[in-house]
Amino acid sequence: MTKQKILIQLDTDNRSSVFDSITAIDSGIDHLLCHHDVTPQNVTEIVHGAIFTRGPADLKSTAIFVGGSDVGFGEQVFERIKGSFFGPCRVSAMLDSNGSNTTAAAAVLSAAKHVNLAGIQATVLAGTGPVGARIAEILARSGASKVKITSRSAERAADTCQIIQQKTEINDVLVPTVLDNVESIADAVGESSIVFACGGAGITLWPKSHWPISQCRVAVDVNAVPPLGIESIGATDSATEIDGTICYGAIGVGGIKMKIHKLAIQKLFESNEQMLDIVEIYQLGQSLVEKNQ
């Protein structure tokens, strides 16, 4: 008899995310077990509870989701989870702290509907945060010829580029770029055909006064909190053409983000060996887009 699907939602915050819980339930699982205040130090005990309760053949019906507002901390928990498995004693797991993976995948897939990413030049504004760095990583992996990562700090921009370079082993594509005042936005965009605004919530990076920039064919803003990251784009814009630029706002990419999130949860239960991080989650998104074409 097929075992019931149990998702163990691990949150690094002191309260489990209701958003993640509802999305999990809507993805078709049978039971949701929520833990909060999860740390790299206490997660192994939870993993043991997951892997020692069902026989190896049934472990594909148990899976783990890692969420919480601190993406770096979530990454540490995810690594510790992977390190706690041995032999067939493992369950599938997914990382989506602060929605970083699903949001980055949705943002790039939205832009990719309009341009071929291979050989493209792109700018990721305020790309030093978790969402921006993931967008830059996907662009580099997709064959972009140049990806500018902007920051107010030269050091943070360079560090972010270096981390992605080490992870992907792709050199000469990522370009650290200082953007410390909105007046320099045109220089930061340069020859880029696509621009992603990934600044913190409520931070405007590209003001109306400097809109449009003719080279930019597609612009995506992932900040949903007013004032928005790109002032000329509305949060709900979705493939909306504004002054010759195809525009997406944060809510505009939300539809595909939710589909990717649910598909990823369903994927966890296909086997006990799925480890879903940015690369795998982006690939799932691609499969969704291809299916709908």
Ligand X SMILES: NC(=O)c1ccc[n+]([C@@H]2O[C@H](COP(=O)([O-])OP(=O)(O)OC[C@H]3O[C@@H](n4cnc5c(N)ncnc54)[C@H](OP(=O)(O)O)[C@@H]3O)[C@@H](O)[C@H]2O)c1
130 binds ligand X, rule: CB under 6 A = yes
Nearest distance from residue 203's CB to ligand X, in Å?
Answer: 4
DSSP structure string for 103-143:
HHHHHHHHHHTTS--TT-EEEEETTTSHHHHHHHHHHHHTT
List the structure tokens of 36. Answer: 């909060």
- Cβ neighbours, 10 Å, residue 1: 4
178 binds ligand X (CB under 6 A): no
Query: Would you say 143 or 200 has its CB closer to ligand X?
Result: 200
User: If you ran DSSP here, which 8-state letter would residue 193 be given?
Assistant: S
Work out whether 31 is an interface residue with ligand X (CB under 6 A): no
Instruction: Tell me the residue nearest to ligand X as measured from the CB.
Output: 129
Q: Does 199 bind ligand X (CB under 6 A)?
A: yes
117 in contact with ligand X (CB under 6 A): no
Structure tokens at 187: 């220089």
**CA 157, CA 147: separation in Å to the nearest integer?**
12
Gyration radius from the chain CA atoms:
19
| Nearer to ligand X among residue 99 and residue 272 (C-beta) | 99
Q: Which residue of 17, 97, 151, 177 would you call a contact of ligand X, by CB under 6 A?
A: 151
Least distance (Å) from ligand X to the CB of residue 48? 31
Closer by beta carbon to ligand X, 89 or else 235: 235
For residues 248 and 256, give the distance between their C-alpha atoms in angstroms, rounded to a whole number.
12
Q: Is residue 52 a contact partner of residue 59, using CB atoms and an 8 Å limit?
A: no
CA distances to 78, 117, 231, 261, 286 from 142, in Å: 24, 6, 28, 21, 12
> Which residues, in sequence order, are bridge partners of residue 167?
none
156 binds ligand X (CB under 6 A): yes
Among 67, 74, 99, 285, binds ligand X (CB under 6 A): 99
Instruction: Report, in Å, the least distance between residue 98 CB and ligand X.
Output: 5
Q: Residue 212's CB: how many other CB atoms inside 10 A?
A: 16
| Residue 128 makes contact with ligand X by CB under 6 A | yes
113 binds ligand X (CB under 6 A): no
Residue from 31, 82, 152, 208 in contact with ligand X (CB under 6 A): 152
153 binds ligand X (CB under 6 A): yes
Decide: is 223 part of the binding site for ligand X (CB under 6 A). yes
DSSP string, 140-184: HHTT-SEEEEEESSHHHHHHHHHHHHHHH---SSEEEEE--SGGG
110 is an interface residue for ligand X by CB under 6 A: no
Q: Which listed residue (50, 198, 216, 260) binds ligand X by CB under 6 A?
A: 198
- By the rule CB under 6 A, 182 interacts with ligand X: no
Q: Candidates 59-67, 84-92, 129-137, 139-147 — which segment interacts with ligand X by CB under 6 A?
A: 129-137
Q: Which residues of 159-195 are buried (b: 16+ CB within 10 A; e: fewer)?
A: bbbeebbeebebeebbbbbbbeeeeebeebbbebbbb
Residue of 33, 115, 203, 289 interacting with ligand X (CB under 6 A) = 203
Positions touching ligand X (CB under 6 A) are 98-100, 103, 126, 128-132, 151-153, 156, 198-201, 203, 222-225, 250, 254, 257
